[in-house]
Amino acid sequence: MHMIILLLMMWMGSVYAQLACKNKECSWVNSNLTEIPTSIPKDIIKLNLAQNNISSDKLTEEALKQYPNLTELNLSSNNIKTLSNAIFSGLTKLEVLVLKENGITTVEVLVFQGLEFLRILDLSYNEIIELPTNILQPFKQLQELNLQNNSMTNLDIKDALTDLKTPLNITLSGNQWNCSCSLMHLSECLNDSTVILENEDITMCSTPENMKSYTIKAILTSPDIQKCNDNGSPSSTTAATFENPSTAPMFTVSNGTFSKVINGTAATSTKGNSWRFLVGVVIAGIVTLLLITAAVKFPKWYEFLLSYNHHRLKEEEPYMFEEEFHVDFSMSTNDRIQEEEETVVVFEQTHSFIPEEDGFIEDKYIDEKDMREES
């Protein structure tokens, strides 16, 4: 009896598998699967397992390598949190891999090893923070890379895209891009003629504050990114700006004037005093030239200026009194003391007092006759 039930279940699974698979294409969408079915034909080329509950533990290299002819694999909307190394290494013919909406947080460096013919990779709507730098190096035929709506702040795929043989359409919107010097290489790749950035207008910088108005493709026009070194590391001034953009000053040069940006507001610094000195020299030169020209063109004025000499009239001060005091030293001491007690000091005026002038100047040209007539 048990054998009959088992055979019946196997028959039903085979019928179900035949119903799910057609023309080497199998689809188990929203079938409450927790692992990859074992009843899938080995020669299938397309497999759709979207909207199930397959976990990272059940997605193993052993489970997938049984289908070496797969060219398309859709595992979207499952419960895959980690993409481990080499889990897809057995799918050497795979061209399309869809892993969106899984909540993926970790992508190991060798996860896509062996996928040399991969054309489309969809990792959108996950929680990926970063991809290893050389994770895309095996890809030479990649045409579409979708990383939108993750938690990525940086992406360096410059070296990974050097061997691309076809143009690449890349979607990066909906991430938290940190547009510091480390993102310079990504921006350089996006400005390459072989790379097309989808949704460019909405693929914006999230940090720092002063870069939020830039798209990640246009950050190369920013004065801060232009100060970055070729290896993507910031200079001392640029580093201070990116580390604390709300407080650190950012210096730019425009028309020979240094400007400082604080909290996104530009303020022009005070210029030096050299221009004032230059203006003073120019003015002094102009004035000197005018004076020389006036002296040459108008010699009479020049002679008048040189001959003009104004002197203030001197006032005669009256002579001071000169007094003489006579003492007879031949007298005895007693007589001298007595004489001093009785002597009255007499001052002798040797010079008479000169009266002050009345302030009138004698005019010798006044006729004496006229003076007599007036009197």
pLDDT digits (tens, 9 = 90+) for 29-88: 999 999 998 888 999 999 999 999 999 999 999 999 999 999 999 999 999 999 999 999
pLDDT at 151 over 50: yes
CA geometry: angle at 84 spanning 83 and 89, to 5°?
100
Q: Report the SS3 class of residue 239.
A: helix
Left, alpha or beta for 192 (phi > 0: left; psi -120 to 50: alpha)? beta
Q: At what angle do helices 299-307 and 274-297 cross, to 10 degrees?
A: 100
Does a structural domain hold residue 300? no
Does a structural domain hold residue 303? no
Residue 162 is predicted with a pLDDT of: 76
Residue 10 is predicted with a pLDDT of: 45
Q: Report the SS3 class of residue 81.
A: coil
Residue 15 is predicted with a pLDDT of: 38
The neighbour count for residue 27, using CB atoms within 10 Å, is 15
Does a structural domain hold residue 103? yes
CATH number at residue 194: 3.80.10.10
The pLDDT mean for the chain works out to 76
Q: Tally the domains of the chain.
A: 1
Please state the rounded mean pLDDT for residues 216-221.
Answer: 94
Please state the rounded mean pLDDT for residues 355-367.
Answer: 53
**Which residues on neighbouring strands pair with residue 261, listed in sequence order?**
250, 266
Does a structural domain hold residue 155? yes
Lowest average pLDDT, out of 106-115, 275-284, 337-346, goes to 337-346
Percent of the chain with pLDDT over 90: 43
Please state the rounded mean pLDDT for residues 337-354.
Answer: 52
Please state the rounded mean pLDDT for residues 137-144.
Answer: 85
Which range is most confident: 293-302, 307-316, 341-350?
Answer: 293-302
Contact (CB, 8 A) for 80 and 107: no
Does a structural domain hold residue 261? no
Does a structural domain hold residue 273? no
Does a structural domain hold residue 264? no
Does a structural domain hold residue 107? yes
Please state the rounded mean pLDDT for residues 161-174.
Answer: 88
pLDDT at 358 over 80: no
pLDDT tens for each residue of 88-125: 999 999 999 999 999 999 999 999 988 989 999 999 99
Q: Which residue range forms the structural domain that includes residue 228?
A: 20-240
pLDDT at 254 over 70: no
Q: Which are the contacts of 142, defined by CB distance < 8 A and separation ≥ 6?
A: 118, 119, 120, 121, 136, 164, 166, 168
Tokens of 115: 């996928």
pLDDT at 241 over 80: no
Lowest average pLDDT, out of 23-32, 60-69, 128-137, 201-210, goes to 128-137
pTM for this model (two decimals)? 0.60
Phi/psi of residue 182, each to 5°? -65, -20
Query: How far is Cα 302 from Cα 296, in angstroms, rounded to an integer?
Result: 9
CA geometry: angle at 247 spanning 242 and 249, to 5°?
70
pLDDT at 273 over 50: yes
Residue 228 is predicted with a pLDDT of: 87
